[in-house]
Amino acid sequence: MKIISINAGSSSLKFSLINMENENVIANGVFERIGIDGHYKIKFEGKTYEEDTELKNHSDAVNILLEKLINLKIVKSLDEIEGVGHRVVQGKDVFDKSVIVDDDVLQKLESIKHFAPLHNPANMLGIKAFMKALPNVPNTVVFDTAFHQTMDKETYIYPVPYEWYEKYGIRKYGAHGTSHRYITETVSDILNTKNFKLISCHIGNGASITAVKDGKCVDTSMGFTPLAGVMMGTRSGDIDPSILPPVMEAENKTIDDIINDLNKHSGILGMSGISSDMRDLTEAYNKNDERAILTMNKYARRITDYIAQYYVLLKGTDIIVFTAGIGENSFLTRKLVCDNLKCLGVEIDEEKNKNCHGKELISTPNSKIKIYVIPTDEELMIAKDTLNLIKKK
């Protein structure tokens, strides 16, 4: 059985075709510059096929993708594709799990799209393009927010006028839920139990920390939008909102300009003035660049702050997992964070931490909390949800 996982953005569409019998990726790639000019890149059996081609809209991208799957002999017939799973960024409190797309789901998606205006409408374009191109194949939607719907009200409510929540749905929704759920399920397999206290650190260009008890999310660091929580590649994370008016006035900026600064020009990039990329920051840190050292330490501190907060919330922690681009690859970040956590009895094996590739335990047998690195796989999670929903149909 073959399933396609789709992540559609406003001008791009990423795909992974997955063989669900062995959970291997058969082919993957990206269609970019949709609505501008157009380019695609498809990876299959160690080769990369890429070309500039006109992509007027998402339907063009889907049609060319399906054509290429046949022409490159990735599949013999499109009948081999039994389901298409779509990542959707915001499901609000309307969706607490993945679902098969039908008219009711489309209507609900339409009603909440303004909660993620840059993402949800683009995700919907992907869904509609596949519904048109493969009308007999079920589509599913898998939400970044769904895993966090188990947070209780005391956790998701903000200490602002209560009417903002009632009238405008202002509350914490979180993000990266599909990744945190993948980590939770993997930890459950590793520990062979569903009863554990986990702190899942998804640290990539975007970053969020999630506290999980017995398989359920109890708190997460991102908020109403992904701008909240720890500092990230280009996002500030939590700040005092009162810093905005003086900067807006001095630089003659609108609220949109300044929110854009907090999303795109802050975090590692803004603080270091070097780059948003952890590899560049690490290089400068190793050359003793003063601002790189400040940024790196601040970055580790913000992650530590959330881990400490969740350690208390969970009343202890069995396991901390590092995942995503930085969590999986930056041993320096893991070292600095774990050094900050020594007072909780955390002890990592320096060699294992330095040489870790793939899924690995990096703490010592003496460590009071197990520290793991686990590569995340959101595409597989989307495909698995799709398979499960199709089976139940």
CA distance 230 to 176: 13
Closest CB to ligand AMP: residue number: 325
Task: Give min distance, CB of 13 to ligand AMP, in A.
Answer: 17
Nearest to 26 by CA among 6, 2, 61: 2
CB 304 within 8 A of CB 341: yes
267 binds ligand AMP (CB under 6 A): no
Q: Is 277 a residue that touches ligand AMP (CB under 6 A)?
A: yes
Q: Considering the complex, what minimum distance in angstroms separates the CB of residue 284 from ligand AMP? A: 12
Task: Please identify, using beta-carbon distances, which residue of 60 and 377 lies nearer to ligand AMP.
Answer: 377
Helices (H) and strands (E) in the chain, counts: 15, 14
Q: Name which of 188 and 205 has its Cβ closer to ligand AMP.
A: 205
- Smaller CB distance to ligand AMP: residue 90 or 329? 329
277 is catalytic: no
Binding to ligand AMP (CB under 6 A) within 307-366 occurs at 324-326, 329-330
Q: Is 172 helix (H, G, I), strand (E, B) or coil?
A: coil
208 binds ligand AMP (CB under 6 A): no
Q: Which stretch binds ligand AMP (CB under 6 A): 115-123, 221-229, 277-285, 336-344?
A: 277-285
Judged by beta carbon, residue 83 or residue 177, the one nearer ligand AMP is 177
Catalytic residue among 144, 219, 261, 349: 144
Q: How far is the CB of 210 from ligand AMP (least distance, A)?
A: 15
Q: Which stretch binds ligand AMP (CB under 6 A): 81-89, 239-247, 259-267, 276-284?
A: 276-284
205 lies in the site for ligand AMP, by CB under 6 A:
yes
Residue 233 lies near ligand AMP (rule: CB under 6 A): yes
Total Cβ atoms within 10 A of residue 167: 9
In terms of CB distance, is 177 or 233 closer to ligand AMP? 233
Task: State the sign of the Cα–Cα–Cα–Cα dihedral 317, 319, 323, 326.
Answer: positive
Judged by beta carbon, residue 34 or residue 268, the one nearer ligand AMP is 268
Asked if 204 touches ligand AMP (CB under 6 A), the answer is: yes
Distance CA 156, CA 211 (A): 13
Q: Are 34 and 57 in contact (CB under 8 A)?
A: yes
- Contact between 279 and ligand AMP by CB under 6 A: the answer reads yes
Cβ atoms 20, 383 nearer than 8 A: yes
Stretch that binds ligand AMP, among 85-93, 153-161, 165-173, 274-282 (CB under 6 A): 274-282
- Site residues for ligand AMP, window 99-158 (CB under 6 A)? none
**Interface with ligand AMP, residue 179, by CB under 6 A:** no
The answer to whether residue 237 forms part of the interface with ligand AMP (CB under 6 A) is: no
Q: How far is the CB of 372 from ligand AMP (least distance, A)?
A: 17
The answer to whether 194 and 201 are in contact (CB under 8 A) is: no
Token pair in block for residue 69: 């799957």
Residue bearing tokens 């009417």: 163
Least gap, CB of 356 to ligand AMP (angstroms): 11
3-state secondary structure 18-84: EECCCCEEEEEEEEECCCCCCEEEEEECCEEEEEECCCCCHHHHHHHHHHHHHHCCCCCCHHHEEEE
How much is the CA Rg of the chain, to the nearest whole Å?
Answer: 21
Q: Is the Cβ–Cβ distance between 15 and 5 less than 8 Å?
A: yes
Residue pair 52/38 in contact by the 8 Å Cβ criterion: yes
Q: How far is the CB of 334 from ligand AMP (least distance, A)?
A: 10
CB of 203 to ligand AMP, least distance (A): 8
**Could you tell me the strand order of the sheet in which 360-361 lies?**
216-220, 207-213, 197-203, 319-323, 370-373, 360-361
Nearer to ligand AMP, 184 or 333 (CB): 333
Beta strands at 197-203 and 207-213: parallel, antiparallel or unpaired: antiparallel
Task: Catalogue the active-site residues.
Answer: 144
In the complex, the residues that contact ligand AMP under the rule CB under 6 A are 204-205, 233, 277-279, 282, 324-326, 329-330
